[in-house]
Amino acid sequence: MRLAMISLHTSPLQQPGSGDAGGMNVYVLSTATHLARRGVEVDIFTRATRKGQGEIVEVDPGLRVINIVAGPYEGVSKEALPTQLAAFAGGMLQWAHCHNERYDLIHSHYWLSGQVGWLIRDLWRVPLVHTAHTLAAVKNAHRSAEDSPESEARRICEQQLVDNADVLVVNTEQEEADLIHHYDAEESRIRVIPPGADTELFTPGSDRATERARRELGIPLHTKVIAFVGRLQTFKGPQVLIKAAAELFRRDPHQALRIVMCGGPSGQHATPEEYRQLASSLGIERKVRFLDPRPPAELVALYQAADIVAVPSYNESFGLVAVEAQASGTPVVAARVGGLPLAVADGETGILVAGHDPHDWADALAELLDNDEKRIAMGEAAQRWARKFSWQASAEKLAALYDEALAMDVEDCPQRHARGD
């Protein structure tokens, strides 16, 4: 089987946690890696963003990243990428023609990639599998008051993909329900395949490893640590954690507590300075430390150094950070949204918080900070819980789905048309 994956707006080789790189990058690279190990030949097509990055990057045996030139290398925001869809599609077609490459199936990730996949599917006459990862209607339904809404143009494009893709892959049953409710998707074309985590890399550390990690972070051994890992954008909720931390210090100004924010800014005009200023305005700037995004091999040390990992997102299709943290033996306090109730066993491996009120978050965090026995027991249960999720299992289910899609008679499938509503 030869598979063309499309990840137009962000390369799977980009460092997660900054810009447009996040859990989707990890998902694409991890599933592609394990699919290649199963004998599926995978080419991931993404937009070139640097002149010297090379057209073809050999990642693993059977796995390549193809950098397609579409628009200027730099200075094109994600919001402007719809203007480059035709250029990207043309670049993909030209590359496949010049290299005499043929593919059995297309799997697109995110709506921008899906629009390209939809066009090429009909030219190559192969099945199109699409994974949205996030949906405009869902993001708008859950966004905070200060967050900008997703455009109606994006929602329409997503509706077209829901109507025209041969198979829709979602991470959770909640995502399936969202597709049906917001986009009137046909249940028969939806498949639920949970993502995984690298449970061989993300493991609990010894006391000595935790001490070393804290020493490298400059955090005293006997200080409690709450970590946030992800892009610094309103939708991910870093401001919720900072405000909750301020409430904790208001209740007990002398407690030994530090907040570690690991991630980079995301979105137009985004900067980590706004979150530093928020901490300063709340009088806790010396209690909050900001770290640049880290590769997985270094990120595991941060998870191990933390007593709690907070995931205050306004929505998550799954919650990869929550699973990685639990695999590292760290309990999670997360918002009760999206796929997080699947990723976190409420009351067993962490606590799910309804809403984003900083006082409620302070209560949940304090419940674990003040009860060492409960927090340690949750950490031990978290490691066992996280073993349920693996990229190998995700790839196995995807490979079976691809076989199912290939059994479809694409030539005889009636063309579905977007309703444009």
- Binding site residues for UDP-N-acetyl-alpha-D-glucosamine, as ranges? 15-16, 23, 231, 236, 294, 316, 324
CA nearest to 133, candidates 7, 242, 241, 43 = 7
Q: Which residues are annotated as a binding site?
A: 9, 15-16, 20-25, 78, 110, 134, 154, 231, 236, 294, 303-304, 306, 316, 324, 330
Q: 1: which 2 tokens?
A: 């089987």
Q: Residue 80: which of 156, 154, 131 has the closest Cα?
A: 154
**What residues are designated binding site for Mg(2+)?**
303-304, 306, 330
Residues 6+ apart with CB under 8 A from 306: 225, 226, 227, 260, 325, 330
CA dihedral 129, 133, 135, 140 (to 10 degrees): 180
Instruction: Determine the number of helices (DSSP H) and then strands (DSSP E) in the chain.
Output: 15, 14
* CA dist 93 → 90, 98, 290, 362 (Å): 5, 9, 43, 53
Binding residues for 1D-myo-inositol 3-phosphate: 9, 20-25, 78, 110, 134, 154
Count Cα atoms within 13 angstroms, Cβ side, for 86: 1
Q: Hey, CA dihedral for 155, 159, 160, 162, is it positive or negative?
A: positive
Closest listed residue to residue 72, CA positions, set 57, 89, 59, 87: 87
